[in-house]
Amino acid sequence: MATSSRPFSIERMPGFSLLALTCFFALYMPLAPLVVYSFNAGDNIALWEGLSLRWYVAAWENDLVQSAAIRSVVVAVIASVVATSLATMVALGTTRTRPYRGQTSIYAMVNQPLMVPEIVTAVALLIFFALIKESTGYHGYAYLISAHTAFCIPFAYLPIRARLEGMDRVLETAAADLYATPWRSFTRVTLPLLLPGILAGAMLAFVISLDDVVITEFVKSAGQDTLPTYMLGQLRRTITPEINAISTVLLGVSVVMVTIIFFLSRKKA
């Protein structure tokens, strides 16, 4: 009698659970002291002196932290909106068209920032923007927003493309059969189905922009510190539990956003 073989699953490999737990421990255990000591009442980041929200209050009342946080959010919102819009158009151009010459090259070029070390991208942007600054004399926020946008495009592109590839095209074909124009078919059929992927891509781009340090450090001008670069500057001077409090808040925001992205991106049965 023939026996049916189950499909291969790495979860059934010997030692998978132990290896997974070890990886999770190595990844997240270093974050535990940071979160715990953000509630420390004392000035020492390594000596527990009692439970307190003192450093959260200090960070909230710090004018430099407030301005850096507002700047970070504004840059991240603009960069994520622009990057998601461009990523959506590229995803549609690489999935909702007939195969054409250079399609694979476009896919590779869009995802190239994920392959290149971030420091290389930062140096390239620094040189490129330095030439523009020298010729125009402009030193505003457009450079920082442009750099974040360029870096966030592939992060927004991947969930949007994945959503498009997983969508059934029956409804789009039916709309075309009912004489809907391409634009009407897109706005009434494709876009509503694609919206969870767009939201996931936008939030992922927002988190990447909000947490970025390397590119921001290379591209920003004087007085344009974001929250991560402000923290880096403080670490070079003196370390207080205020940095732990700010880091914990950023960690919490990232966890919430990634959790929402997970629920938006997963496929329904």
More confident site: 3 or 124: 124
pLDDT of residue 6: 66
Whether residue 12 lies inside any domain: the answer is: no
More confident site: 85 or 236: 85
Whether residue 31 lies inside any domain: the answer is: no
Whether residue 44 lies inside any domain: the answer is: no
Q: What is the mean pLDDT of the segment spanning 65-87?
A: 93
pLDDT digits (tens, 9 = 90+) for 39-65: 888 887 777 888 888 889 888 888 888
**Predicted confidence (pLDDT) at residue 76 exceeds the cutoff of 70:** yes
pLDDT of residue 93: 83
Grade residue 1 by pLDDT with cuts at 50, 70 and 90: very low
Q: What is the mean pLDDT of the segment spanning 82-91?
A: 92
> What CATH number does the domain containing 232 carry?
1.10.3720.10
Whether residue 54 lies inside any domain: the answer is: no
| Residues in a beta bridge with 98 | none
Whether residue 189 lies inside any domain: the answer is: yes
Question: 93: which residues sit within 8 A by CB, 6+ positions away?
Answer: 106
Grade residue 8 by pLDDT with cuts at 50, 70 and 90: low
pLDDT digits (tens, 9 = 90+) for 128-180: 999 998 888 888 889 999 999 999 999 999 889 888 888 777 877 788 777 77
Whether residue 134 lies inside any domain: the answer is: yes
Give residue 142's domain range: 70-265
Burial of 223 (0-12, 13-18, 19+ CB in 10 A): exposed
For the chain, the domain total comes to 1
Phi/psi of residue 143, nearest 5 degrees: -65, -45
Lowest mean pLDDT among 5-14, 41-50, 242-251: 5-14
> Model-level pTM?
0.82
Q: What is the DSSP string of the chain?
A: ---PPPPP-GGGSTTHHHHHHHHHHHHHTTHHHHHHHTTBSSS-SSS---B--HHHHHHHH-HHHHHHHHHHHHHHHHHHHHHHHHHHHHHHHHHSS---TTHHHHHHHHTHHHHS-HHHHHHHHHHHHHHHHHHH---STHHHHHHHHHHHHHHHHHHHHHHHHHS-THHHHHHHHTT--HHHHIIIIIHHHHHHHHHHHHHHHHHHHHH--HHHHHH--TT---HHHHHHHHHHH---HHHHHHHHHHHHHHHHHHHHHHHHHSPP-
**Predicted confidence (pLDDT) at residue 265 exceeds the cutoff of 80:** no
d(CA 83, CA 110): 11
Q: What is the mean pLDDT of the segment spanning 11-28?
A: 82
